[in-house]
Amino acid sequence: MLRTLLSEDLPKSRVLAFLLAAIVLALFLTPFLVPGAKAMGVAAKILVFVVLVASYDLLLGYTGIVSFAHTMFFGIGAYGVAIAFTRLGPSWGALAAGLAGAVLLSALLAFVIGLFSLRVRAIFYAMITLAVASAFQTLASQLSDLTGGEDGLNFKVPEVLSPAFELHPDPVLGASLDGKLLTYYLVFAAAMLLFLAMLRIINSPFGRVLVAIRENDFRAEALGYRVVVYRTWSNVLAAVFATLAGSLLALWLRYNGPDTSLSFEIMLDILLMVVIGGMGTLYGALVGAALFVVAQSYLQDLLRLAHGALEGVPVVSALASPDRWLFWLGLLFVLSVYYFPAGIVGRLGNKR
């Protein structure tokens, strides 16, 4: 059953299988293992980025397409849900309408961009996507009547997903059985289903053609495959999954703004997670997102403890200052690339 669920794409080493199982189990049990709003927020962010990074790896790792417009589709999903809840009220119908509208818009934009841009060389395509994403971010900031401008949109969700909703008055293992917990497990279930769907896609005949195009597009064309058609559909699929990831983020935060889902910093984070986890393997998205988000969220706290313990030691205490967390994050990234040039998953034997 597990082989079928994972589309016959089982991890190729016991260490990797244990690591992946530990990450999924930790995410599933986070509300009870580490009670508190911050831990659950970090876990929810990991789940959202697992879908987002995996969808980008569908482009970069499997098709060889470098795009800088991925956060645009991520933002469309988040804005679709936010606008729908704001205009239609906190109902499941509004959620469905927001999702449907965002997916259709993203699919259409991805189809047009792919159809007209994927015929050019890779660097020019990357520049085109960067220009489109920048224009969309500016548009989202200026259409304040629709998007809330720079302030973004706060909105209410269906009552059962609201923190005020209580399943049981007493906490269980330190976790409150409320709407926030239900929202977390909704995000968890959706992220796992979307990840398994992408795993099925890349292990299908369609996915094998994408890998062939990545390896040698001229040979794939010579074998009779319409390279532009496959690249365009890959672009559309990646955009749809990124849109769904954005909708999960908005549903969890009950807020969306330009910096939340359209920032270019998110695009850089996606690239870092893909490289850390390993390109060309969706399992790398799970590992890369988990490690990067945890480091990004807790590195300052660890440095604060180290700074307090080393206070008075001349140079070392200064280096352990919480203000230098970006330096240590960058150093960790450099070390991971040096020791895991094919990514963590690639090093552990799950190479594609």
What is the per-residue pLDDT for 178? 84
Instruction: Please say whether the beta carbons of 246 and 102 come within 8 A.
Output: yes
Structure-token pair, residue 257:
């703004």
Query: Could you say which residues of the chain have pLDDT below 70?
Result: 117-122, 307, 309-310, 312-316, 349-352
Sorted by where each starts, the structural domains of the chain and their CATH numbers stand as: 2-347 (1.10.3470)
Amino acid making up residue 284: G
Q: 90 φ, ψ to 5°? A: -80, 75
d(CA 174, CA 161): 19
What is the per-residue pLDDT for 249? 96
What is the per-residue pLDDT for 352? 43
User: Using one digit for the tens of pLDDT, what is the confidence trace for 250-261?
Assistant: 999 999 998 899
Structure-token pair, residue 85:
């809840």
What is the per-residue pLDDT for 351? 45
d(CA 195, CA 6): 10
Distance of CA 270 to the CA centre of its chain: 7
Could you tell me what percent of the chain has a pLDDT over 90? 40
What is the per-residue pLDDT for 119? 66
The model carries a pTM of: 0.92
